[in-house]
Structure 1
Amino acid sequence: MTRQKTLAGLSVLVQDGKLDPVTLAEETLAGIEAHGDQAVFVGLTRERALKEASAASTRLRAGRSLGLLDGLPVAWKDLFDVKGSVTTAGSAVLRDTPPAGSDAAVVAAVAGAGMVSVGRTNMSEFAFSGLGINPHYGTPHNPASTDVERIPGGSSSGSAAAVAAGLVPAAIGTDTGGSVRIPAAMTGIVGYKATRGRYSMKGVFPLAESLDSLGPLCHTVQDAVWLDAAMHGLTAPVVRRGEIADLKIVIPETIVFDEAESEVVEAFEDAIKRLEKAGATVTRRPFPTFKAVFDLMARHGALVTAEAYALHRERLAGPQAERIDPRVVARTRLGEKITMPDYIALLDARDQLIHETVESLKPGELIVHPTLPHVAPPVAPLLADDELFFKTNARTLRNTLIGNFLDFCGISIPCGTGAGEMPVGLQLAAPHHQDDRLLSIALAAETVIRGEA
């Protein structure tokens, strides 16, 4: 039986008693097992899911619903500790580690909202790629692709593929350089990267703690707002729907359009025209701080690489390195060349660039640009050519990593299609800790951005 894909649509059915959470959980698990792409999930939590669904069913029959998300399925990127499951971080070297003794804090928070955890989704190994290719557990197909096999985007590849394929209404990912927004844009769904620190990172396997953030992948901004509340441990959302008339957009003229595919630019500009027509104020100007981010990395190395190397240096020095994707090893080992003075210089300059960027924004302005400069490329050429792999990975991460470095929050919303009829994403971004305002405006603007208003 085909169900509505959105959390909001499912919630109506469950809260009205028209769909039992146990039935929904069983259908969800059966759909995942029968799905033609077995690289989307790395493991199901069947026993837990049915237990949580049964508890939700009992509550709802007794009139004691925990809220809008009670009894609804959710999946977790394989960086989150889920009690009783092994957290592999997409790597073969962690496959034999002991199962998690407890849930990650955010997994527990979402369970507290009554959601039903159905399994762990695939990802780029150690979250260190924006492409979503994984040689150990397979590479999830991009459900939006109808011509050739294309990448799903990473590193939250399985999370995006699971939602885009309709296997689950929502999944939770991590974002260090774009790992929620990139796969969301490539598969045609919504991906929200919260401000770093908005949710607890306890029980989440890190990549670079100075940059790591979390966020949901789902079908609508409304669903993202509901999940944001649950991840906070709130019983209901506090975000109010904004007005497009209050939307002040600034489009950067620096970096984000460089080498962008013409179809991507066209889809983005069409969305901007729709927003203007709906009452948004649009300006364009250079952002020197964007260029400064890349100048810093050229001079001192990348912050993510320095911290990833510090995390994995013992693995890379021992026999485990032979069991890690050589492309992940090569990229991580670049961190060995980053000295302590380089690292301190990066942190100091980062603080200054964050301040300068926030000060350059006029009151109420949101930064808006294409989430990615290209649509999802075919998989085969990337597997065959390491040089193309690294070049494409850098280009894929370019627009989104700016927000991580500058500690912004951001949300990617589908705005049209590009080459091969593949999805194009538009990113709205705001300074750190302005998440509620960002989500408020995104709620108001989503249908216009999509061209549905």
Structure 2
Amino acid sequence: MSKSFGAMSVAQLSVLIQGGAADPVGVAEAVFESIVNHADKAVFTTLLESRAMEEARAASKRLREGRSLGLLDGIPIAWKDLFDIEGLATTAGSVVLAKDMLAKRDAAVVGLLRQAGMVAVGRTNMSEFAFSGLGINPHYGTPVNPRGTDLPRIPGGSSSGAGVAVAAGLVPVAMGTDTGGSVRIPAAFNGIVGYKATHGRYAMAGVYPLAKSLDSLGPLCRNVRDAVWIDAAMRGLTAPAVIVRPLQGLELLVPENVVFDGAEPGVVAAFEAALDRLHKAGAQVSRAVIPAFDEIFDLMTSYGPLVTAEAFALHHERLAGPDADRMDHRVVMRTRLGAKTTLADYLRILEARGRLIADVERLVGDRLIAFPTVAHVAPPIGPLEQDDELFFATNNKTLRNTALGNFLDWCGVSIPCGTGVSGMPVGLLLSATARRDEALLGTALAAEPVIRGDFA
């Protein structure tokens, strides 16, 4: 093969498997060989070789007997280390959960993709408790962005290992979670596609939470088509129902406030070039201030971030005990800020959130929203590990654009649109208001080659 199985798209690999040119057992063996031989040992926290080979043999038998489960049968997938896997403790990137009770069953979505025939090859590394957009983990190591050629750069988080596993060609798809950008950020930094679904689109049973009001799921993969296929299976469908939507007449709204503040020139240039290509392909582009963006940050200043309040409620007992000394001190510091948000403050945030979601839905209508996924490319790891002040400032800036979508309950897909400084990837984020996932994905299918331009 000119390309390793893990470096293929789901669709490319599916053609080989369904056509008999590749066998799921051979695919799984090759994927594990690639992972074991890969220099970066921080990408995966656990390999599931015994389970994977059992699942691959079952897929191989089905295919030989003409009983394929569909497009995803025999396709390898990696799972972020906060999805329950039967028989294992769910560590969520932390050592304090390593001796917790073993999961009695797979998380709901893990089970659904197993029913679709997918082969679970391992768990990927992540920011501890999913509470950082940078992907740095002092316990299990920090996966290095494979796109960096000058010096080690961050992978983005919190789905750090998932992004690197796909970008490095180890697996065709990895599953992440997204509370403030944790799928879309590593997708943008690593030059791959990341789809965050509307909150509540998938079953959340067996997924370790960060902030239940904001948590959502989504795949990191090579192209939008792959995301469409995975999305269907995660909802128990036997085939995708998403229809390609033409770019001619597509209405795009580009916000004029917040999302370009402090953006690197290379990021802006790559985004604007992609936008120009979309316009030439038939999209109608308008620009406007979205007042809710500024109001969201005013709310955070007054009452604290919603994610921090809910994270503190989840972890407050742990933070008051000896476990706090075994956690990443930056995660502890950030989570403890949630203590400042009173119950009255929390209720005010929720009330304001409902109003702002309604306001923005009226403003946006059926349009899609477009802006850079992150205002900068992946920065070097070293300075962020050594300087807490720089860490927090960079984390806030990294999460800023994507977190708006979580607060407003948008769905979104990050697509590579070019490169910025040091040749690092830039992502263009297409978003839609809540529950318009089919419209978003259908448009993204048509828009992806235009957005990518020459980006491979």
Could you state the TM-score of these two structures normalised by the residue count of structure 1?
A: 0.99
Residue identity matched to 2:157: G
Out of 257, 281, 285, which is 2:260 matched to? Answer: 257
Residue 336 (str. 1) matches residue 339 (str. 2): yes
**Partner in structure 2 of residue 400 of structure 1:** 402
Out of 112, 116, 134, which is 2:115 matched to? Answer: 112
- 1:246 shift after superposition: 3.4
- 1:276 shift after superposition: 0.5
**Partner in structure 2 of residue 39 of structure 1:** 42
Out of 442, 445, 448, which is 2:447 matched to? Answer: 445
State the Cα deviation string for residues 286-316 of structure 1 (Å, max 9, x = none): 0000111000000010100000000000000
Residue 173 (str. 1) matches residue 176 (str. 2): yes
Once the two structures are superposed, the pairs formed by residues 294-443 of structure 1 within 5 Å of their partners are 294-362=297-365, 364-443=366-445
Contact 2:253 2:287 in 1 (8 A): yes
**Partner in structure 1 of residue 235 of structure 2:** 232
Contact 2:156 2:185 in 1 (8 A): yes
**Partner in structure 2 of residue 205 of structure 1:** 208
Contact 2:90 2:103 in 1 (8 A): yes
Please give the alpha-carbon distance, in whole angstroms, between the structure 2 residues aligned to 1:190 and 1:272: 17
State the Cα deviation string for residues 265-301 of structure 1 (Å, max 9, x = none): 0000000000000000000010000111000000010
Residue 136 (str. 1) matches residue 113 (str. 2): no
- 1:57 shift after superposition: 0.3
- 1:85 shift after superposition: 1.9
Please give the alpha-carbon distance, in whole angstroms, between the structure 2 residues aligned to 1:450 and 1:52: 35
SS in 1 for 2:96: helix
Please give the alpha-carbon distance, in whole angstroms, between the structure 2 residues aligned to 1:246 and 1:406: 25
State the Cα deviation string for residues 352-392 of structure 1 (Å, max 9, x = none): 00000000014x31010000000000000101100000000
State the Cα deviation string for residues 53-97 of structure 1 (Å, max 9, x = none): 000000000111100010000000001001122210000101111
Please give the alpha-carbon distance, in whole angstroms, between the structure 2 residues aligned to 1:99 and 1:75: 19
Once the two structures are superposed, the pairs formed by residues 40-59 of structure 1 within 5 Å of their partners are 40-59=43-62
SS in 1 for 2:287: strand
Residue identity matched to 1:447: P
Residue 291 (str. 1) matches residue 324 (str. 2): no
Residue identity matched to 2:24: P
Residue identity matched to 1:420: S
Once the two structures are superposed, the pairs formed by residues 76-155 of structure 1 within 5 Å of their partners are 76-155=79-158
Contact 2:88 2:102 in 1 (8 A): yes
Gaps of 5+ in 1: none
SS in 1 for 2:298: helix
- 1:99 shift after superposition: 2.1
Q: Between the two proteins, what is the percent identity of the paired residues? A: 63
Residue identity matched to 1:31: S
Please give the alpha-carbon distance, in whole angstroms, between the structure 2 residues aligned to 1:85 and 1:73: 19
Residue identity matched to 2:353: R
SS in 2 for 1:94: coil
- 1:149 shift after superposition: 0.3
**Partner in structure 1 of residue 285 of structure 2:** 282
- 1:452 shift after superposition: 4.9
State the Cα deviation string for residues 190-226 of structure 1 (Å, max 9, x = none): 0000000000000000000000000000000000000
- 1:98 shift after superposition: 2.6
Gaps of 5+ in 2: none
Once the two structures are superposed, the pairs formed by residues 3-18 of structure 1 within 5 Å of their partners are 3=5, 5-18=8-21
Contact 2:418 2:454 in 1 (8 A): no
What is the count of residue pairs matched by the alignment?
Answer: 452
